[in-house]
Chain A
Amino acid sequence: MADQEREAGRVMLEMRGVSKQFPGTLAVDRVDFKVKTGEVHALMGENGAGKSTLMKMLAGLFNDYTGEIFVDGEPVKLTSPTLAKQAGVAMIYQELSIAYNRTVQENVFAGQMPVKGKIVDKHALRDMTIDVLKQVKLDGKIDPATPMKNISQHESQLIEIAKALKDNPKILVMDEPTSSLSTEEVGTMFDLIREVKAKGYALVYISHHLQEVFDIADRVTVLRDGKLIDTCNVKDVSKEALVEMMVGQKMSDFYKRTDKAIGDVVLDVEGLTHYGFVHDVSFKLRKGEILGLTGLAGSGRSELGRVIGGIDRMNAGKCRIDGSEVKTKDMCNMVKHGVAYLTENRKTEGLALRLSARDNIFSAIIPKLSKGPVYLPKSGDGVLNELYEGLNIVPRDKNLTASNLSGGNQQKVLLAKWMATKPKVLILDEPTRGVDVGAKKLIHETIEKLASEGISVLLISSDLPEIVSLADRIIVMKQGHLIGELTREDGFDESKVLLASNGERSVFSVEY
């Protein structure tokens, strides 16, 4: 029965004309998607192309999608996580859900302890766990009774896969499973995936890494702007062709670029190291320059921004602003020196959602608005109005609780908060993540304007069109290292940046 089911080449998952509407956008637009048994099917696309929406649809997180989904020829409704599980879809997320102070075996069989009478059968549990671990080749390497907190990230990921395989799913969906792994670990992971594939599972592999897709996938489906572009055999496409499919024919002058004067070095970073995250990074940022910083997920790009912003610790290295060295240990100090770091996590770190927009915008400049110890928020009203006008934040009611604003306006409030500090160096980490098109355009224009006013911008972004159109220069990180630089003189476009962040060294103007 099982063998029959797993016979290679059967269509296991079929999505027919599925769509998902979000307020304002059609995130997935009539996509057809077929996965066969015994294949690794890569799902690719830029940020916002609809990959994650499609994946969430499979996980049963939406109950209002349209279109039809068939699993093994049977029509199914994936409107809740339980239904998705029952239908045989298993998900492995980027962020693992692990009970760290329980053992491996308890994590694998959570809620399904084997019992003998009323008593949990520890031997059976152990044997079953070893069986499960065998599938990921961890039997013998890991004792099932080891606490999860002593297991490395890599092995945790494998255990998570084993846990998913245990339920004998029909379709296994993996979201960026290699983003936090080293090269050797990726190799092990791929061996495992090949083995799982050979057993006749249908695998969906979501990734940004081009090389990985060529290494592991059999077929690839590319999405762009919520639409299906093409599905083809990996053997039949070249890297360049794939990149073109992902990027498409974009209007290169979507954002107006004005030629501007770039001044002296403002920020000079030398040998910056944060153990385990960022390693020996040096670069210079000039006055009025927009320096793009990109890299794949887990490359350390955000961590670099956090260290310069003064949130995370700098273990070694120097950071100079206007030629004089500053201590990055204290964010308060960095703000005083004119460095502002806009976080990528708007909802958890960026805005205090229960406070008003006014309180949020003033939160970084409370000392500036004070005379001695007395806080005078009224003195900031002028700046506040200016920011509201400049960024067109609606509604204009400044006492509105931040949680009642739309995503785009929340992001504008966050930007306003850091603009209010009048920074010299503005570090923007994914400044347009999860915002609507109008807000995105306005934020881009604002960044341009700020640069022309002489503010140096470090733009950390994985949004290719954004970084290509805005940046004067792009530096690229991979696995914690700065690996190269692309300059505007030599020219760069989206495909070049995409190749660069995948570690393709030939495209760099300057290689480190």
Chain B
Amino acid sequence: MLNTDVSAGGNRLFDSVKNSNFSTIANRFGVFLMIGALLIVGAFASPQFFSTSNFLNILSAVSILGMVAAGVAFVIYCGKYGDMSVPMVMAISGVISVEFMRYGLVPAICGAVVTGAIIGCINGVVIGKLKVNAIIWTLAMNFILEGLVRWSYQGNQIYPDMATEDTYQTGFLLPIMYKLDKNIMNIDLTSRAADFNGLAQTYFFGRIPLMLVVMICVMIVCFFIMSKTSFGNQLKVVGSNYDVGNTSGIRATSVVMGAFMISSICASLAGVFITSINKVGAFYVGQGYDFQAVTAIILGGMSLAGGRGNIIGVFGGVFLMGLISNILTLFGVGTFTQKMISGGIFIVVVAVNARSLRKLGRDDA
């Protein structure tokens, strides 16, 4: 028999562990409970709900959001609340990819990704080193980029398949590219543009869109980076407490920089696809994705305080948002009302998250 004292102490300890785990579990798997509930609701909404094509619809509708959210998740994981430069990173990458598609699809995507990486790098250095409020800085960055894109194209949208006399005089990098290589004018723009616009219309097995596959791949890669690499685990320490990271021999600035770079790279990939869907590059293509990504991530159980959550949850959050929108549409609710509802859901989820955080905070004290 155990000594009474010890068992009593043990029980108390066990209870406290159990309690804290309960809220963690509710946090982590809450999104899947919600998905389950919505699936039941969906079954009542329409007989077509449980069809493969409907689920493919749901998923492809959120594949852009999924790419963005997977990246922004790193920023939230490192305790920085959000990356407001996402919309313009998407836009600028879209524009760059349209410019680079003259050399083919691969350079187009590479150009976009490199652009994203550079922007992320700047964000990361400023935020990591100077400890600027991340939201304010990324907002400022967003404005600067918006100005750059709009200024370089003088507010015009750019169409991949359209080239007029002055196409090579204005643009982001086009004038430079033109100066370096005059042959650029002779490239068969129509077929290249068709290739580029085809990106969003590529299907595997005739029904699985390429975008969806890319989104899943991005999610898998991000999951791997966040949970299985040394970078991801250093990010976890830094996100959970920056000072601890800094005094544990972790290069905290570089780690924060990495998080912002991943966020921007993912956003730039999303930017390429959304430009391909719209068949037009413009400064407004990414509008709203910053907020939506944060919503999906928080719904997915990632803690705003950093260091908690994972990409599986984020995927759940993204899927949940698609599901909500799908079901509301099936019920005949308009897009505007959907926006209102998703904003409301966001506020409720965040408030609950904050309450449970405060509970955990009390444990810390």
Spell out A's residues near B (CB within 8 Å): 309-311, 330-332, 334-336, 341, 343, 347-355, 359, 362-364, 366-367, 369-370, 373-375, 377, 395, 397, 400-401, 403-404, 417, 421
Contact = CB atoms under 8 A, between A and B. Distances in A.
A355 B307 contact: yes
B232 interface: yes
Chain B binding surface SS class? helix
B229 A353 contact: no
A359 B249 CA distance: 14
Nearest to A341: B247
Given A341-B247, A349-B244, A400 B17 contact: yes
A400 B19 CA distance: 12
Given A366-B230, A375-B230, A404-B17, A349 B243 contact: yes
B229 A375 contact: yes
Nearest to A402: B364
Interface string B293-305: 0000000000001
B237 A352 contact: yes
B364 A354 contact: yes
Contacts of B246: 311, 331, 349
* Most chain A CB atoms below 10 A, which of B228, B234, B241, B248: B248
B250 A366 contact: yes
B363 A373 contact: no
Interface in B198-249: 228-234, 236-237, 240-241, 243-249
A363 B250 contact: yes
Contacts of A373: 229-231
Contacts of B233: 359, 362, 366, 375, 377
Given A375-B228, A375-B232, A404-B16, A354 B247 contact: no
B20 A401 contact: yes
A481 to B, nearest CB: 25
Given A334-B249, A349-B246, 15 more contacts: A310-B249, A347-B364, A350-B247, A352-B240, A355-B236, A363-B244, A374-B228, A374-B230, A375-B232, A395-B13, A401-B363, A403-B363, A403-B364, A404-B17, A421-B249
Contacts of A341: 247
B228 A332 contact: no
A331 B249 contact: yes
Contacts, number: 97
Contacts of A348: 241, 243
Nearest to B237: A363
Contacts of B16: 404
Interface string B16-51: 110010000000000000000000000000000000
Contacts of A395: 13
Contacts of B249: 310, 331-332, 334-336, 364, 421
Contacts of B234: 363, 366
Contacts of B244: 349-352, 363
A349 B245 CA distance: 8
Of the four ranges (under 10, 10 to 19, 20 to 34, 35 or more), the interface on chain B belongs to 20 to 34
Contact of A332 (B20, B236, B251, B360): B251
Interface in B326-365: 360, 363-364
B179 to A, nearest CB: 39
Given A359-B236, A366-B230, A403-B363, A352 B250 contact: no
B308 interface: yes
A304 to B, nearest CB: 15
Nearest to B234: A366
* Most chain B CB atoms below 10 A, which of A335, A349, A369: A349
Contacts of A311: 246-247
Given A352-B241, A354-B305, A373-B231, A363 B248 contact: yes
Nearest to B244: A352
* Most chain A CB atoms below 10 A, which of B233, B236, B245: B233
A353 B241 contact: yes
A374 B230 CA distance: 6
Given A335-B249, A353-B364, A359 B237 contact: yes
Closest 4 CB pairs of A and B: A335-B249, A370-B230, A352-B240, A352-B241
Nearest to B229: A373
A335 B237 CA distance: 16
Contacts of A332: 249-251
Nearest to A365: B249
A401 B232 CA distance: 19
A332 B252 CA distance: 10
Contact of A404 (B20, B236, B305): B20
A336 B231 CA distance: 17
B250 A349 contact: no
Nearest to B357: A354
A425 B250 CA distance: 18
Nearest to A406: B13
A349 B237 CA distance: 11
12 contacts: A332-B250, A349-B243, A354-B240, A355-B237, A363-B234, A363-B237, A363-B244, A366-B250, A369-B230, A370-B229, A373-B231, A404-B20
B193 to A, nearest CB: 37
A439 to B, nearest CB: 16
Contacts of A421: 249
B358 to A, nearest CB: 13
A361 to B, nearest CB: 11
A427 to B, nearest CB: 11
Contacts of B308: 354
Nearest to B14: A395
B238 to A, nearest CB: 9
Contacts of A404: 13, 16-17, 20, 363
Contacts of B251: 330, 332
A308 to B, nearest CB: 13
Nearest to A335: B249
Contacts of A343: 247
B247 A331 contact: yes
A388 B232 CA distance: 25
B251 to A, nearest CB: 5
A340 to B, nearest CB: 8
A135 B111 CA distance: 68
A370 to B, nearest CB: 4
Contacts of B243: 348-349
